[in-house]
Amino acid sequence: MTKFNSVISNLSLGELLGNSLTSTPCVNVRKNAKVKVVTGMLVQYLETFTDSVVVRDDVKPIGVIGGREIIQGVYKNPSSDFFEMKIVEEIFDKRLNVITADNDIKELISLWKDVGRAFTVIDMGNNDYSVISVKKLLEIGVNNTLEFRISEIPKKKIITFDKNATFGDIMKLMLENRTRKILLEGTNQFINDRIIIETMEKMNYLLDVENFLDVPVDIVSLENAKMVSDNLNLSEISKIMYDLSQPLIIHEDRVISPWDICMALAKN
């Protein structure tokens, strides 16, 4: 573990991450691919090392697409037509942030806030790019001595759903509150966009489903947020979160996501 003399937020991403900064490959999809194709890719990659897929026009990157675009699209058109008839170009986000190793965390977080997406790429040259998402920033917490405590993370409103909710109810909550994870009230269980997208894939992209929005959520298995009782520091909580396949932590009356860790890093 490293302890820098300077505060974390004053150092460049290159200084903080070294060679790891450009070690995450960029997952790409062509703009003319069916939505069905990119949905299958997101099932594989969401929450692993990236939250979005880069959209390319032949060779050049022209934007991004992630779980949000799929949720929005299905909420408007909950049928197989959305997956089979629409192409990526019709729904992707044209805002693609490109940074360099000289940028710092504050600049990165500012870009993420502007587009509402924790996803950025670094130009490696020759139309090759590397990805930076919240998973990458967790490495900074893992590899540095940071005494900032969980109790110092600001409390936020906890969005919940009840056991009788439908997928339509969940998707509405996600879109209205700009969140990817929602807790089942009174429990540490949660649903996220990956679970919803994976469910639609298993349903053959809604081919035989009359209205997915009316399907009850209780047909799926939920994920469990990790319960933490100790007031851990940022380094300790980053290590725990980095190893979780579906990262979400509950400490007393706080629900802590990777985004909260990124915000804390920007203040240290």
Domains identified in the chain and CATH numbers: 8-133 (3.10.580.10), 150-266 (3.10.580.10)
Long-range contacts of residues 79-86, Cβ cutoff 8 Å, at least 24 apart: 79/206, 79/209, 79/211, 79/212, 80/204, 80/205, 80/206, 80/207, 80/209, 82/35, 82/206, 83/34, 83/35, 83/36, 83/39, 83/200, 83/205, 83/206, 84/34, 84/35, 84/36, 84/205, 86/34, 86/35
Cα–Cα distance between 49 and 137 in angstroms, integer? 11
Query: pLDDT confidence of 266, banded at 50, 70, 90?
Result: confident
Q: How far apart are the first and last CA of the chain?
A: 16
- The predicted model scores a pTM of 0.91
**Over 70: is that where the pLDDT of 160 sits?**
yes
What number is the average pLDDT over the span 139-152? Answer: 90
- Residue-wise pLDDT tens digits, 192-250: 999 999 999 999 999 999 999 999 999 999 999 999 999 999 999 999 999 998 899 99
